Structure 1
């Protein structure tokens, strides 16, 4: 394995954790950036076992100063950045008429502005390496609904942001794409189902079956399946793919 360095945000759990572990097969070093040192250390152990050297950075990417810290520490330890995977960002699922300005701002601060600032901070190193960036969006970008308006609005903004970065990347030699996952069974989704089910007189098992049925899909996706797509996008096999929004959703979106 030649020396190569990836930054993965949101690496403490879910898709971020699965992606960091998957990339350890292809990259020699992985920076793990997220909140929650204990979970990050667990990811780091799995990354090391898979063959890559981890760097744990426990911080909140909503903090304006955080992206520069991630880039500076990565360059200080590894000397380069070849890939950036912006995965961090949980957006509250609250009805359009109930969500406060503070909740809107909080969702934007982490998922949108955190990813934007980090891509800008890492850009000189990515330009030097002719590297690659992946932004995590989501299917709600293309069908926003009132009960989770912020999720759709912020995901749509992320997809548009990725397009803008990809346009600059054509000139600078940096590949940029975005991914729109459908419903994935992460720890956060499990917690949501455990909260939602009793409120609707259902068992957790019934609620878990109901959501895929309502979405018109056979099952939830697994974090590892999205991680495989991420790994493809930052691999040489996808090098001519840029400015693309890729959907992996089990058929949830029915439009062409």
Structure 2
């Protein structure tokens, strides 16, 4: 019997939650296709997978460009002939007050996180349909709690959650499971840089700033990228075969709404 190479695509795979997810999924899949804009950072992430005994296919592509979603899918299909799962994580959104956000900043956030994920899902869909695979969209806990301070983040996350639900509806027809993941405050490099600025502005150590920020958010601690990666691994595993159209929130209890 010919072995089929089970393949997953992970975007935003060069750092943070994306890198942690790619490393975790290398345990479950024969090949992890890793997509990010930074070729050097992507090579480092791919090397980590290979050193652990996995297989990686690094693809340095900017998913803000409409043609790159199809290019990624074509490269993966050529390498393995199948796609079993897609995990959309890429998409840094400007963190600025509603009154200060420019049209360009709104467009940049939408072009990567929303349209980039949408295009990749559409391009990969025929392969996911054939493999009866799984699709993940990365939203965020802020989708349920819009604020002026994080207007673009919360608005685009809410749109991503709705998009995931729409794809899940089509997935009921085509046999593709679709879920969204909504992390809260996680210690990514971007988050730690924000905390460092917060600490400097208040004359605090970074450690004290982490505790202070967590206390203000009403949580015991920040989450870790590995914890989100584990949730994603479960969501696309056979153990979650009956779960689709679900928003999976992991935020340490910060969101008080049901």
> 1:110 & 1:220 partners in 2: Cα distance?
25
2:150 alignment counterpart: 148
CA displacement at 1:195 relative to structure 2: 2.1
Higher mean Cα deviation, 38-47 or 236-245?
38-47
1:50-65 equivalences under 5 Å are 50-65=52-67
2:118 to 116, 125, 139: 116
**1:37: how far off?**
1.2
Q: 2:164 aligns with which of 146, 162, 165?
A: 162
User: SS in structure 1 opposite 2:74?
Assistant: helix
133-142 or 51-60: bigger deviation: 51-60
Matches within 5 A, 1:34-45: 34-45=36-47
Alignment counterpart, residue 205 of structure 2, candidates 193, 203, 208: 203
Residue 197 of structure 1, CA deviation: 2.2
Q: How many residues align?
A: 256
Aligned 8 A contact 2:128 2:134 in 1: yes
CA-CA distance at 1:49 after TM superposition: 2.8
Residues 219 and 250 in structure 1, CA contact (< 8 A), matched pair in contact too: yes
What does 1:1-256 correspond to in 2, within 5 Å? 3-256=5-258
Q: What is the CA-CA distance between 1:2 and the residue it aligns to?
A: 6.1
CA distance in 2, matches of 1:52, 1:122: 22
Specify the SS of the correspondent of 2:150: helix
Residue-by-residue CA offset, 1:10-66 (whole Å, 9 max, x unaligned): 000000000000001100001000011111111111212333311111111111111
Q: What is the rounded CA distance, in whole Å, between the counterparts of 1:10 and 1:251 in structure 2?
A: 25
Distance 1:233 1:50 in 2: 23
**In structure 1, C-alpha distance between the alignment counterparts of 2:197 and 2:60, rounded to whole Å:** 28
Tell me the SS of whatever aligns to 1:221. coil
Comparing 63-72 with 192-201, greater Cα deviation is found at 192-201
What runs of 5+ residues in structure 2 fail to find an aligned partner? none
TM-score, length-scaled by structure 1: 0.97
Aligned mates of 1:52, 1:67 — CA distance in 2: 24
The RMSD of aligned alpha carbons is 1.2
Q: Gaps (5+ residues) in structure 1?
A: none
Residues 28, 51 of structure 1: 8 Å contact kept: no
